[in-house]
Structure 1
């Protein structure tokens, strides 16, 4: 088993790579892929850069060059659901683009039956089970777009998709995994909320939220492959 771990920024992947062992680093397409292991599990970890195209490039290389069998996206997100607090963590059940017309995916390649990419049920279950004692970890819908969502656009996203949170990368990875029939899931911790929003909140809470996302991942890895 080899698992790909993807985050958008160095700050989001660093808490995980710090826990890895026997790391070797290779560079392709301007990205640094850190090969190593965690608790005896082979992992390839990297930060891909912000936005879904960067995330898609990373995911395809993980699949083609490293033959990963699963991809897990980690890092931070912005809360859309008003009940979420800073540090609360969402495990993806479904993922969609919030800024792509529905028919782009359903009437054209890859001719999906709906606009939603479904995260791998066994991965989602395993991550959820490993974090069952943490009430701040929940499962729900994540949407992805190319812009930072503050207050503007929030209500439209809620009306169309009713997600728990929004980010800028997960759907890019989900799209690649769908096309390659590779299981995926995402673990996103809240760095900003409807009550504490904007770039200031993101800068203030990004490190804490990133560390929380990695703790949720590590709980899963510590239990799933023992």
Structure 2
């Protein structure tokens, strides 16, 4: 059984490639895929690309070309929910496309043809990933030396792994008023999103179509506000890539 590890960032993929046993690089659909083994288990590593279309293409290639049996996604996101701080991790319970609006033909956010607005992640795979995320954030300061205040974010005494709804859309949310409007609009409609990013909902839809398990973990790099771009490269290099490495290796050992 082959597990696909989708990474949003090149730094995450390069870290994991370094751990691969018997690595083999293959090109398909203009993308690089790495075959090999992690913790003695068959994997395929790939970059999702930015945005929902690119992510859907990559996920489809993983299923059709490489025959993967499940997909796990790691990346970064902006925090929306209360208590979701920089340096925390959100493991998706389900996904919603916040820019999906086919009204008045369908209710806002409903995916046409699916009779629903939220697509669930696999409960069992997500539970293992949540456990791995919890272990990761518990050791964040001690193992990684991560201090969010050094990146201009508020200091927190401890980091948390959250489990809940993540919203995806083809827009980088980086203004405080936009983030507040998105959060409030979704919350009032019964969709309390914890984080926002640009790819996960598309991968969730592909996995739903093919009937394969999907799980995703997003490290919170910012609060999706006016400071979302500040020190982002440093965060990716010093925090997000290490989180991804820790979570994926722990996950593979537990599968």
What is residue 179 of structure 1 aligned with on the other side?
A: 209
- How far the C-alpha of 1:210 sits from its partner, in A, is 2.9
Moved more, 42-51 or 12-21: 12-21
Q: How does 1:43-192 map to 2 (within 5 A)?
A: 43-101=43-101, 103=106, 106=110, 108=112, 111-133=113-135, 134=138, 136-150=160-174, 151-159=176-184, 160=186, 161-192=191-222
Post-superposition Cα deviations, 1:31-68, rounded to whole Å, max 9, x if no partner, equal 00100010111000011321111111110010001110
Length, aligned pairs only = 222
| Greater than 6 Å deviation, 4+ residue runs | none
The Cα of 1:216 is off from its aligned counterpart by 1.7
Q: CA deviation at 1:98?
A: 0.7
Residue aligning to 2:148 = none
Give the gaps of 5 or more residues in structure 2.
139-158
Q: CA RMSD in A?
A: 2.0
SS of residue matched to 1:153:
helix
Residues 201, 141 of structure 1: alpha-carbon distance in 2 compared, 3 angstrom cutoff: farther
Q: What TM-score, normalized to structure 1?
A: 0.90
> Residue deviations 1:91-138, cap 9 Å, x none?
110111111116387473xx2232111000110112223445436222
Instruction: Tell me the TM-score normalized by structure 2.
Output: 0.80
Q: Secondary structure at the match of 2:252?
A: helix
In structure 2, C-alpha distance between the alignment counterparts of 1:152 and 1:196, rounded to whole Å: 9
Within 5 Å, which residues of 2 pair with 1:30-45? Answer: 30-45=30-45
Unaligned ranges ≥5, structure 1: none
**CA–CA distance in structure 1, aligned partners of residues 111 and 77 of structure 2:** 29
Asked if 1:197 corresponds to 2:227, the answer is yes
Contact 2:94 2:121 in 1 (8 A): yes
Compared CA separation, residues 107 and 66, structure 1 to 2 (3 A): closer
- Is residue 192–residue 205 contact of structure 1 (8 Å, CA) maintained in 2? no
Shift of 1:203: 2.7
**Higher Rg of the two aligned structures:** 2
Change in Cα spacing, 1:14 to 1:87, as seen in structure 2 (3 Å) is farther
Secondary structure of the equivalent of 1:100? coil
